Every structure is written in C-alpha cells, then in structure tokens.
Amino acid sequence: VQLLSALSGGEKSLTTLAFLFSIQKYLPAPFYAFDEVDMFLDGSNVEQVAAMIRELSHTAQFISVSLRKPMIDRADRIMGVTIRPDKSTLVTGVENHA
C-alpha cells in the first residue's frame, strides 16, 4: 500500500477514474463531467480511458474537457471554444463520425 502522495499524477488519475467507474456500475448517475482527466496520462492510458468512457457512454452521458486526440476522436460530438484577441468567444460544434 502506497501513500497517495507517492503516486504520480497519472496513477492518481487512473485510481480516481477506476473508483468513479466502479461507482457508476453500482449506482449510476445520468451524466458525468470530467475536466482534463487525461492531463497526466501517457498516450496508452489516454487510449484506454477514452475507450472505457466510450463503452460506458451507452448507459450515461459523459461531458469531457480534453485537448488529447484519442479523447476527441472517440467523442460523439465535439465543441470547440476559441478566444479571440478582441475578447469575444467563438463556440463551434460538430458531430463526430469517426
């Protein structure tokens, strides 16, 4: 057993996601919101987490903020937010057919 402080950022992320996914199997919520949960993960683990979210999305809605390509590639819909120099914000959305 390790102290949580001894875990890397990726290990903490995976531990938290495993805990949330196990709760989702036991007591599901209608949706989950994740903010860059893949930030500290290596490429292989991003792929695995994206696949897991995709699989679980059949029973719940997942809203994820991510800059990582595997997460974006597996999304049903993608929203892009761009901040312009004049401080206006441009929001675009597309349906992903990947």
The pLDDT tens digits for 14-73 are 999 999 999 999 999 999 999 999 999 999 999 999 999 999 999 999 999 999 999 999
DSSP, res 40: T
Helix (H, G, I), strand (E, B) or coil at 14: helix
Domain that holds residue 78: 4-95
* CATH code for the domain in which residue 88 is found: 3.40.50.300
Q: How many domains does the chain have?
A: 1
- The pTM of this model reads 0.81
pLDDT of residue 30: 95
- Can you tell me the distance from the alpha carbon of 64 to that of 2, in angstroms, rounded to the nearest whole number? 29
- Can you tell me the distance from the alpha carbon of 64 to that of 29, in angstroms, rounded to the nearest whole number? 15
DSSP, res 39: T
